[in-house]
Amino acid sequence: MASDTHQLDTLRGEWLGRIGAAADLPALETERVAALGKQGAVTQLLKTLGAMTPEQRQTEGPRIHALREAVTEALAARKAALEAAELDRRLATETLDMTLPVDTGAQGTIHPVSQVMDELAEIFSDLGFSVATGPEIEDDWHNFTALNIPESHPARAMHDTFYFEQGETAGPAGAGAEGDRRMLLRTHTSPVQIRLMQRQELPIYAIMPGRTYRSDSDATHTPMFHQVEGLVIDRGITLGHLKWTLETFLTAFFERDDIVLRMRPSYFPFTEPSAEVDVGYHMEKGRRVLGGTEKWMELLGSGMVHPKVIANCGLDPDEWQGFAFGCGIDRLAMLKYGMDDLRAFFDGDIRWLRHYGFSALDVPTLSGGVGA
């Protein structure tokens, strides 16, 4: 049963067409069996070689083998194309829905810093304060100059500032002198005070929690840490309002009635007068416990907002006064929940988080106890 060239070419066209038209992998497999399987058409053709004369075999053999080769190659090419299409389809359709409820095996916890931020928001919103945020990449003017810390001021050196390379980022044009537009990682949350006052939506009762940065690292300092700033700007605000607010805040935060504060005269460029606030504590089983007046530790800085700072934001200091305070959030968390090494806060050690973290369902409420 000799096959002429024409017949084989027709056959080849037919098979390549069928293979190319196979819509999916099972259909392609059907074609493969039909061509190359035991009873397949091409296999049958190969079998005819046995019955041929040696001369016929010499001419027909290579042609039939070439046909088998072409069919095999076409099958492989079609298979690769179908598999690639299948992968593309899966990539396009199979997504992981991150909003689905976690299964009960989930081990995540709320970090103590997040927990404390939630507690602060809860306590201060009850006092009528809003929560504001500002950029962590800040310009020199907001971080220093507007806060009455001019270029040559020694406080700048004390802040161990991370500056960006000149030209790496540039402050907004028209933001002031060249030096004022220099960009940095904010060294405190105080520049958010400036941004709030510049908006001129008065009065202001706000807290501003967030990340802050200084080039400093040991057991009590990390290059990134957290602060919360408080700001009140209104008419007729006095030091008495500041003291009451801090007492109310710290009593609610530490959930104790015996919290005693001591205000010591101090100096900050952006407040006048300025006070450092100490809180009384005592020792219980080798641990510091807040409350009482046995010993004192420094907790935060505060004062009446300097008239120059108010004027720098375009407000009239004769009409508007206020107070401000700034406090380390990590420190608050350590005191309340009894951790002693700040660096562990940022190691991301799952065992530490399981021990000190909070359940995602434990939302702090004043009625339930903010630390519950």
Given the rule CB under 6 A, which residues bind ligand DAH? 188, 190, 229, 268, 271, 301-303, 324-326
Contact assessment for residue 14 and residue 20, using Cβ atoms and an 8 Å cutoff: no
Residue nearest to ligand DAH (CB): 326
Tell me the C-alpha distance between 23 and 86, whole Å.
11
Least separation in angstroms between CB 277 and ligand DAH: 9
The smaller minimum CB distance to ligand DAH, of residues 110 and 315, is found at 315
Least separation in angstroms between CB 298 and ligand DAH: 11
The smaller minimum CB distance to ligand DAH, of residues 209 and 303, is found at 303
Least separation in angstroms between CB 260 and ligand DAH: 20
Least separation in angstroms between CB 240 and ligand DAH: 16
The smaller minimum CB distance to ligand DAH, of residues 207 and 290, is found at 207
Among 241, 274, 246, CA closest to 259: 246
Least separation in angstroms between CB 268 and ligand DAH: 4
Tell me the C-alpha distance between 215 and 161, whole Å.
6
- In the chain the first and final C-alpha atoms are separated, in Å, by 91
Least separation in angstroms between CB 148 and ligand DAH: 11
The smaller minimum CB distance to ligand DAH, of residues 14 and 216, is found at 216
The smaller minimum CB distance to ligand DAH, of residues 255 and 276, is found at 276
* 184's tokens: 């940095």
Tell me the C-alpha distance between 370 and 127, whole Å.
14
Among 43, 103, 52, CA closest to 71: 43
The smaller minimum CB distance to ligand DAH, of residues 65 and 221, is found at 221
The smaller minimum CB distance to ligand DAH, of residues 64 and 304, is found at 304
Strand partners, 275: 265, 302
Least separation in angstroms between CB 336 and ligand DAH: 20
